[in-house]
Amino acid sequence: MTMKRRTVLAGLAGTTAAAALGMPALAGKGKVKAGYIYVGPVGDGGWSYQHDQGRKAVEAAYGDKVETSYVESVPEGADAERVMTQMALSGHDIIFATSFGYMDAVQNVAKKFPNVKFEHATGYKRAPNVATYSSRFYEGRAVIGTIAGMVTRSNKIGYIASYPIPEVIRGINSAFIHARKKNPDVEFKIVWVFTWFDPSKEADAAKALIEQGCDVIMQHTDSTAPMAIAEKAGITAFGQASDMRAFGPNAQATAIIDNWAPYYVDRVGKVLGGTWKSEDTWGGIASGMVAFAPFNENLPAEVKAAARKMIDDIKSGAYHPFTGPLNKQDGTPWLKPGEVADDGTLLGMNFYVEGIEGTIPS
Amino acid sequence: MVTLEKRPEPSEPWRWLAPLLAVALTLVAGGVMFALLGKDPVAAIRMIFWDPLFNETFAAYARPQLLVKAAPLILIALGLSFGFRANIWNIGAEGQYIMGALAAAGVALALYPLDAWWLFPLMIVAGALGGFLWAMIPAFLRTRFGTNEILVSLMLVYVAEAFQAAMALGPMRNPEGHGFPGSRNLQDYPAAHNAELVAGTGMHWGVVTAFLAVVIGYIALNRHLFGFQVRLTGQAPRAARFAGVDADRLVVICLGISGALAGLAGMFEISGPSGQVSIDFNIGYGFTAIIVAFLGRLHPIGILLAGLLMALSYIGGELAQFGLGVPAAAIKALQGMLLFFLLGVDVFTNYRLRWKPGRAG
């Protein structure tokens, strides 16, 4: 009881002091409490693990001025809504919801807690206290597509795809375009596994692709299983979301790393400084949100050089992975020579580019 | 020497004591686990089992949420309990839950944006029917071809999941969803929305139905011929046959009831707390309900309490995760311990310890 009283009085004193000094009421906070909800376990070695690395970077950056917490394996829907509500009730200032499926839950909770800030990964619904953020992973796919096109001997590249959503289709297109640029004989074999994280399904898909003659495998799923299979089969693969070298020391050419740390440090810093605003961020290689694991030493020098050039060109803005001339799968023109795809088309991408075989399941 | 000796009759006191003892043992073993993880065991246990109910910051929100979380578990577990008593093992309630939800959402989305009072009742019928029909597949295969309903019902969960993904990506996809998977949110569709009956209480039609089902289940089990047949078949299948119980009919009825109730649970979930057909709408209620059914001793009142206890462990577990940094896996382990100790302690319902003078040395 006395404790609480004291907190109230201290709070009042603080407000008075702030008013006396003429500071704006909405100025920065002395201490920020940041909460994270993850769709998978922090030990998934992929998507949720990388978000948690970002959370740790926030702690490292601000020390005592920040307190972070997280809840892992939160199902999308009612459970996410409940967890975020409890976080808001317990005094969190900013809550990061790190899965697309949390979108409507974020909106519902944000309406109830206008003073709490929300950040929703990969979604498109914003509000005055809801910001959205995502990464241009297709930039990373352009780099690994380049490598894949150069290292394949069988000219067959396997692709383990999760769900037929724009994010995944964009990745397939970007990887294919750049593999073809280096090797016009390349073909893609795409397996849809309809899961983000299921080691046994992913392993089965990897085995099936290898049996069909693929000697390079890419994955848009989160487990390390395909990497382990590739290592055993002696072929090349690419880590997804985080560095998976431990599971494929010879197989992993590189990995596309989701580096959320710079974004999280920036956003929590803005809450501390009182300058947080709702906005939409779609960062890529240039902002550090898409990063790469070190190239494997077993890659030929010219492959490494080509990959590095691709990274540099995207980073400097000299090159956009979706630059014309590009046709859609059915042969209809999409981008004229030199024309660059706009973000709106990319965000809603629901078609393959010319040359990819098969249809997008629906 | 200590030996186990079968009791002539199951012990009535132990029947009630076993769950309480199991909970107590879980608290102790859970506390040890938290201590080993470097967390304050008392604080962790208090946060999981006490704070959602009585902490002034959380209780007002968490108490109603307890009902929301427990309702589908109770509804499904209750349906399963009849079959389990009669040795009819529906392991695929998760699939029936999905099909019920899809049937109900399908009706609502097909009629979008209808504003009619009869839409919601129609969805309830569709939900029950969806789960019922999905459960009829293992029922038919067992009664006609003698297949094992455990395997068939379980495999049909994966079929239902694939069907759900296809629906979320295809016919039921939100046309205004920017190409992302997932249907319209039924929470924004007033005629189809299973809203709270009184704001802030958590009470929605699913909670009401779960309570009603407990009452009806109690009467059916104890006061009705059906309950007698179920119990008799479980305890003495041969005697049941001589008493005129039609075994095939019982399979159909038990699978039908559990399927329909699982379908109803899915219907109330998708039209209310969840709101959306998505690629992973189902989150394991159908499997967790199996634990709830056994934790509740396959008894309606027991299932009611077990469902609430399970819900409490989920909600409190989340508090302990962000409040104390307890990993989610530890919460799952705690829930597992609960069933483990219950089954362990349950031995004493049917057996007793006897000291026998053994040979020295």
Q: Which of B179, B274, B325 sits opposite A348 (nearest CB)?
A: B179
DSSP, collapsed to helix, strand or coil, labels residue B250 as helix
CA–centroid distance for A218 within its chain: 16
Query: What's the CA angle centered on A162, arms A198 and A103, to 5 degrees?
Result: 100
B1 vs A361, residue with greater confidence:
A361
The DSSP string of B25-86 is HHHHHHHHHHHHTTS-HHHHHHHHHTHHHH-TTTHHHHHHHHHHHHHHHHHHHHHHHHHHHT
Answer yes or no: is pLDDT of A28 > 80.
no
b/e string for B213-251 if b means 16 or more Cβ within 10 A?
bbeebbebbeeeeebbbbbbbbeeeeebeeeebeeeebb
Over 90: is that where the pLDDT of B13 sits?
Answer: no
DSSP letter at A159 equals: E
A247-267: pLDDT as tens digits: 999 999 999 999 999 999 999
Quick check: B77 and B253 in contact, CB under 8 A?
Answer: no
pLDDT for residue A198: 87
pLDDT value at residue A147: 97
B306 pLDDT more than 70: yes
CATH superfamily of A137-257+290-347: Response regulator (3.40.50.2300)
Give the HSE-up count for residue B7: Cα atoms under 13 Å, Cβ half-sphere: 15
Q: How far apart are CA B176 and CA B184, in angstroms?
A: 8
Q: Per-residue pLDDT for B360 more than 70? A: no
Residue A3 has pLDDT above 90, yes or no: no
Domain ranges of chain A: 30-135, 137-257+290-347
User: Which structural domains are found in chain B, ordered by start?
Assistant: 59-326 (1.10.3470)
- Which residues of chain B are within 8 Å of residue A76 when distances are taken between CB atoms? 278, 280
pLDDT over threshold 70, residue A9: no
Among chain A, residues having any CB pair with chain B shorter than 8 Å are 35, 41-42, 69-79, 81-83, 85-87, 89-90, 100-101, 104, 108, 124, 163-166, 194, 347-350, 361-362
Beta bridge partners of A33: A67
Residue A321 backbone dihedrals phi, psi, to 5 degrees? -60, -25
Whether residue B126 lies within 8 A of chain A, CB to CB, comes out as no
What tokens were used for A71? Answer: 């809840």
Distance CA A234, CA A225 (A): 14
Torsions phi, psi for B151 (to 5 deg): -70, -45
**pLDDT tier, B328 (very low <50, low <70, confident <90, very high otherwise):** very high
- A30-135: what fold? Rossmann fold (3.40.50)
> Which residue in B39, B191, B44, B178 sits closest to B111, CA to CA?
B191
Tell whether B165 lies on the interface with A, counting CB pairs under 8 A.
yes
- In angstroms and rounded to an integer, the radius of gyration of the C-alpha atoms of chain A is 23
| Cα(A98)–Cα(A39) distance, integer angstroms | 7
Is the model's pLDDT at B132 over the cut of 90?
yes
Closest residue in A to B167 (Cα) is: A362
State the pLDDT confidence band at B178, using cuts at 50, 70 and 90.
confident
Interface probe with B: pick from A79, A85, A96, A100, most Cβ of B within 10 Å: A79
Select the residue of A41, A89, A101 nearest B328 (Cβ to Cβ): A41
Residue B123 has which token pair? 């969805």
Q: Same topology for domains A30-135 and A137-257+290-347, yes or no?
A: yes
Cross-chain CB nearest to B169 (options A72, A78, A163): A163
ipTM of the complex: 0.88
Q: Give yes or no for B175 touching A (CB within 8 A).
A: no
B279 touches chain A (CB under 8 A): yes
- Going by pLDDT thresholds of 50, 70 and 90, the confidence category of residue A67 is very high
Summarize pLDDT for B82-99 with one digit per residue, the tens: 999 999 999 999 999 999
Among A27-31, A93-97, B316-320, the minimum mean pLDDT is found in: A27-31
Average pLDDT rounded to a whole number, residues A192-199: 87
Measured on CA atoms in the order A68, A71, A76, A78, is the torsion positive or negative? negative
Q: Residues A174-203: what's their mean pLDDT?
A: 94
Predicted confidence at residue A14, as pLDDT, reads 39
pLDDT in tens, B264-284: 999 999 999 999 999 889 999
| Residue of A168, A167, A151 whose CA lies nearest to A159 | A168
Owner of token pair 């976080």? A87
